[in-house]
Amino acid sequence: MFMRNLLFCFCLFLCHAAQAENVGPNLGKPAPEDLVKSWNIDVFPDGEGLPEGSGNAVKGKQVYETYCFSCHGVEGSGGSADELAGARHSLTDNPPDKTIGTYWPYATTIFDFTRRAMPLNAPGSLSHDQLYAVTAYLLYLNGIIGETDSMNAQTLPEVKMPNREGFIRIDAD
């Protein structure tokens, strides 16, 4: 009798488990392939994933003053959001200044982060030209490029950031 009950419980468990695999929470619907593709906007340090477009610091100043100034302050000096330029301390000082020029290892990361997250009230709303321009302006404010240097998919990955070697690479191999 015990074995029969045990076998019955085991079969009941298997039936329930098999049924549970096919039942989901029925939330939402599968995303169309074109929508998923539009979300794939990764930009890598070597520039892979950068779109067409270009801009320089002169144009970027206008973009900055329109979309960034209210949070990041005059010339990236900080406000309600972090400072982006004008570091007075290095990373080894106490306290350190983590600006774009002292901390970020790749210029492409500026473009990628700005495209995904800024402006705070409308992320993803800037055009590619505006993104290249404001990236150039931030690089210029940090003394990394010249005011009229054009940033685009070819030139941005070539920018050597001051803290390029400041991170330790950990390979998952």
- Distance between CA atoms of 33 and 37, rounded to whole angstroms? 6
Residue 132 lies in a domain: yes
Spans of the chain, pLDDT less than 70: 1-23, 173
pLDDT at 90: 85
Closest listed residue to residue 150, CA positions, set 138, 132, 162: 132
pLDDT at 145: 98
pLDDT at 25: 81
Closest listed residue to residue 84, CA positions, set 144, 42, 41, 154: 144
Residue 164 lies in a domain: no
Closest listed residue to residue 50, CA positions, set 123, 143, 159: 159
| 151-152 and 54-55 strand pairing | antiparallel
Quick check: helix, strand or coil at residue 96? Answer: coil
Residue 10 lies in a domain: no
pTM, two decimal places = 0.79
Say which DSSP state 103 is in: T
Residue 34 lies in a domain: no
- Distance between CA atoms of 143 and 83, rounded to whole angstroms? 15
- Distance between CA atoms of 105 and 84, rounded to whole angstroms? 14
- CATH number reported for the structural domain that contains residue 126 in this entry: 1.10.760.10
pLDDT at 39: 86
Residue 128 lies in a domain: yes
Residue 30 lies in a domain: no
pLDDT at 80: 94
Residue 8 lies in a domain: no
Residue 15 lies in a domain: no
Count: domains in the chain? 1
Q: Which domain holds residue 90?
A: 44-158
R_g of the chain computed on alpha carbons: 25
pLDDT at 167: 84
At residue 7, what is the residue type? L
